[in-house]
Chains A and B, each alone.
Chain A
Amino acid sequence: MATLVQAVRMALHYGEEHLGVTDVFGEDVGPPLGGVFTATQGLKTAWNSPLDERGILGTAMGIAYAGGRPVCEIQFCDYAFNSIDMMKLAGNQRWASAGGYDMPIVVMTPNGAGIRGSIYHSHSFESWASRLVGWKIVMPSNALDAYGLVIAAIKDPNPVLVLLPKALLRLKGDKLIPGEPADPEELGRMIDAPIGDRSGWAPQWPDLKEYVVPIGTGDLVREGTTATVVSYGRTLPLCAQAADELAREHGWTFDVIDLRSIFPYDWDLISASVTKTGRLLVVNEDTEVTNFGEHLLRRAVDEHFYDLSVRPRTLMGRHVPGIGMNQVYEQNSVPQLGQVREAMREIAAEPA
């Protein structure tokens, strides 16, 4: 089974071959490295840009204006902040020009904590991104969804931000990507560049097929009746694992929703689940003040106040300036498995 980052790479290859991708570029995106996480290794349109995030965004916009289909990467979302007004413009150009120009760009960037990335490689970006009107923002939590969401992002003629959870990039999926060889070692031999000299290396791409995860569709990864848990990215597998443990230990069952799209989000899926369970917990690792999860809570309160059995709640990253290098900092800044399980236990156990 492919890892999440291999899935991204294969989706980009599919995009180059079948969907008209003209440029995959960013810092260290081209040869020899192919991206600091190898997401762009071996791609025929990949090239290295200057170390200039504003230039990356602006050039992507220019390529799109002139009819190209660019995919660009911001090396870590921590470095996207100096380009946020370029992102704002990419999102508003179609509206501002009353439909004059579409803006078919894809921006990928690794997101969140979990790789001991310290202060400047652990940020989350989805709450900032959710305010970039005109964009679509997606975040896969497994390899197959990553493949399907990147292909959707390329096919969508609007700006799409693909947030890649750093902690899950090396995680192997449990479902085959269409066209992927069943033997994961064979896939690695085909598409992973060798360590050291790569000058003579070329990938052998599998015969990949199109697979789309429609933007705006969540995935119900666990089904239950006790409570609804909405998450995405790094914290999603933690929620699923906690749901399994709590089901075994206490018999509580949860609807665990992998949101997959931050915007547009699958409100109908959340809404139906909250109507059923009357209990809502939103889990993510972004900092807790003006967190995207608060918006979901606002809608839950506005639209489901009388459906709720207990107060709806969130489990989010703490409002601190960064995530420190020592694991004490990270474990006490962003949700870990134990905290997720405890929050789910509390919402399940609270009397109505």
Chain B
Amino acid sequence: MPELNDEEPGELPGGLSRRRGRMLSPGVAVVRNGREALSVELALTIFRQMVRTRALEERGIKMSKSGEAYFWVGGPGEEATNVCLGLQIHKGQGPAFDYLHLHYRNAGAMLAMGMPVIDHVRQLAMRATDPHSRGRNFVGHYCVPTWNVLPVTSVIEVQFAMAPGTALVQKRHGGEGITVVVGGEAGTAEGDFETCLNWSTRPGTELPVLMIVTNNHFGISTDLRTVRVNRPIVDRAAPYGVRSETVDGNDPIAAWHAIDRAMRYCRRERKPFLLETMVSRLHGHSSSSGAQRVWDEADPLALFEQKLIDDGAIDVAAVRAMKDEARAEVDAAVVEAMAESQPTPEDVNRFTYARSPVDAVYPDDFTGLPGKVQSSK
């Protein structure tokens, strides 16, 4: 077993040889997966964001092992789905735009939306400059109010109980803003998944919620097939009359169009949609389980790279240059973030409370136990 991270597999899954060096075909306009296609321009945009995401995740794993960071969790293997999601978000603040209730494997979506690499690294490195949580939260636990990205929690599936709230405000607001809520397949065992389906389908108050379940078949170490009936997750939508689809989330062409279809339905019909996207988990659950590279699962990045080369959309040299550029971008971000300040003890209480005109004890923020602490001496 290779050690980890940046080594390339010798073969693609299924024993296919990795072909190299095919020349770029001038004039190729689209890449296809059979019935669906993307323009080369869009395909290369997606590919570049997938490359950046992978470079960031692999560097993050190294940081968790080198002591530059303490803990890593993320989404290598979910890049195709995530990037296609992030690129199609209506980004902005307030109910006219999309709300994102993400989980902790969505770096690709955030990079595709335009999050600077260094903001991810700052959280991983627990810096005071971490804009998501000021060094308080695990990596990938984003919060970007200007983009309606709500605080990510480690508590599985609770975001599915919150999603109907943002969607309700959007339903009243009108327009095409939708609520996107993302979780893994293991989390669908929680009642909060059912809460989202139920609250989104009240007669007359159907809600524009795009529920995305990224199915990697595992909850930490537990194989889904040992704890759940062997039926598609999307079957859960049927009793509620919710439209649904399962897609190969490792294929960016399929993922792009499935997300597009689901979003268009939610935006225009103002009703919920359940999208199950089958993905890989290429470095296990998190650094707590070693984050070793898993070689027997399909790698969406390698597969797409090969397809783009085969279709003449890009050549090997350009791929190499793109990867080098991504690694350099991430390395520079790590150097910069590691030089930034740490939180201070004075930060511990900060941001507990918002300023209140009606609180006699904490008009500004939490300041320790209420009242004047008396000395007993």
| A 261-314 contacts with B by CB, 8 A | 261, 263-268, 270-271, 299, 302-306
Residues of A within 8 A of B150 (CB): 65, 101
Are B143 and A97 neighbours in the complex by a CB distance under 8 Å?
A: yes
Chain A residue, CB-CB nearest to B167: A62
B354 and A102 contact, CB distance less than 8 A = yes
Q: How far is the CA of A62 from the CA of B170 in the complex (A)?
A: 11
Known contacts A50-B198, A52-B195, A54-B191, A59 near B165 by CB under 8 Å: yes
Q: Assess whether B361 is interfacial by the CB under 8 Å rule.
A: yes
Query: Which of these binds chain A: B19-27, B324-332, B364-372?
Result: B364-372
Chain B neighbourhood of A50, CB < 8 A: 195, 198-199, 202
User: Does the CB pair B370–A52 fall under 8 Å?
Assistant: no
Residue on A with the closest CB to B190? A54
Whole-angstrom distance between the alpha carbons of A60 and B358 in the complex?
Answer: 21
Residue of B nearest to A90 (CB): B162
Count of A interface residues, CB-CB < 8 Å: 62
Contact B163 A62 (CB under 8 A): yes
Q: Does A186 contact B (CB under 8 A)?
A: no
Looking at the complex, which of A6-14, A153-161, A327-335 is the stretch in contact with chain B?
A: A153-161
Q: Pick the residue among A54, A66, A304 that contacts B192 (CB under 8 A).
A: A54
Is A95 engaged at the interface, CB distance under 8 Å to the other chain?
yes
Q: Is the CB of B168 within 8 A of A62?
A: yes
Whether a CB of chain B sits under 8 angstroms from the CB of A64 is: yes
A55 touches B155 (CB 8 A): no
Q: How far is the CA of A270 from the CA of B370 in the complex (A)?
A: 11
CB distance B360 to A217 under 8 Å? yes
- Is chain B's interface secondary structure helix, strand, loop, or mixed overall? loop
Instruction: Give, as a whole number of angstroms, the nearest-CB distance from A12 to chain B.
Output: 16
A268 to B370 alpha-carbon distance, docked (Å): 8
Q: Determine the chain B residues whose CB is within 8 A of the CB of A302 once the complex forms.
A: 376
Decide if A58 touches B165 in the complex (CB within 8 Å).
yes
The interface bits of chain A over 208-232 (1 if a CB of B lies within 8 angstroms of the residue's CB, else 0) are 0000101111000000000000000
Query: Are B155 and A66 in contact (CB-based, < 8 A)?
Result: no
> How far is B371's CA from A67's CA once the two chains are assembled, in angstroms?
32
Sampled A-B contacts (22; CB under 8 Å): A22-B169, A50-B202, A58-B195, A66-B95, A66-B166, A68-B165, A89-B155, A97-B132, A98-B131, A136-B359, A155-B357, A156-B358, A158-B354, A214-B359, A216-B359, A216-B370, A261-B361, A263-B370, A266-B371, A271-B374, A299-B369, A303-B376
